[in-house]
């Protein structure tokens, strides 16, 4: 575990971690992709997996979700944030995102960016946490780009909840 990570985060390093993350993304995102006549690519996910920093969320002593990101200069890109069924809407996503934003701030990031489908309820979480729509993709997928200038966020005195 990285000393600066929350205690309930575990670095995703094993093939089993990659499989868990892959299956979770497929499960949580398939309804959005199906609606758009898109399909999940396990091969593409596994190709991109080594390029992101990823952690398994073990808040309840089991695999509760995972988060993946990469830092490019002063911009951190949230690539994935997924929770298992039954944990969405419980406040855990807010805590994970708040802790992630603190970690990015403490790592030198000035801005956080992400992509989300406009009909994904997670969009409300991102908005509550200070993200604003920065652009709409022109490919008719309903995908939005969102960004948050970390220093402008109302709670930017970032500290980790461990």
pLDDT at 146: 96
Using the Cα atoms of residue 129, residue 130, residue 133 and residue 134 in order, give the sign of their dihedral.
negative
pLDDT of 162 over the 50 cut: no
- Give the model confidence (pLDDT) of 6-54 as tens digits: 999 999 999 999 999 999 999 999 998 888 888 899 999 999 999 999 9
Please check the confidence at residue 62 and state whether its pLDDT lies above 60: yes
Distance CA 44, CA 32 (A): 18
pLDDT band with cut points at 50, 70 and 90 for residue 4: confident
What's the confidence (pLDDT) of residue 156? 52
Q: First-to-last CA distance in the chain?
A: 13
Q: Do the bridges between strand 132-136 and strand 143-149 make them parallel or antiparallel, or are there none, so unpaired?
A: antiparallel
Q: Give the per-residue pLDDT at 48.
A: 93
Residue-level pLDDT at 87 = 82
pLDDT number for residue 152: 81
We find that the CATH architecture of domain 9-152 is: 3-Layer(aba) Sandwich (3.40)
- pLDDT tens profile 67-76: 999 999 999 9
Closest C-alpha to 116, from 86, 90, 148, 84: 148
Q: How do residues 86-141 score in pLDDT, each as one tens digit?
A: 888 888 999 999 999 999 998 899 999 999 999 999 999 999 999 999 998 877 77
Domain boundaries, the chain: 9-152
């Amino acid at each position: 575990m990285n000393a600066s990570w929350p205690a309930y985060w575990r670095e995703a390093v094993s093939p089993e971690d990659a499989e868990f993350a892959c299956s979770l993304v497929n499960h949580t995102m398939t309804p959005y992709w199906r609606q758009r006549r898109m399909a999940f690519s396990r091969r593409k996910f596994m190709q991109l997996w080594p390029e992101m920093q990823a952690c398994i969320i073990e808040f309840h002593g089991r695999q509760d979700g995972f988060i993946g990101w990469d830092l490019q200069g002063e911009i951190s890109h949230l690539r994935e944030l997924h929770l298992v069924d039954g944990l969405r809407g419980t406040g855990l996503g807010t805590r994970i995102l708040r802790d992630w934003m603190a970690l990015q701030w403490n790592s030198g990031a000035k801005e956080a960016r992400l992509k989300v489908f406009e009909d994904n309820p997670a969009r409300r979480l991102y908005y509550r946490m200070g993200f604003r729509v920065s652009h709409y993709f022109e490919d008719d997928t309903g995908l939005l780009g969102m960004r948050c200038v970390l220093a402008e966020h109302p709670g930017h005195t970032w500290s980790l909840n461990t």
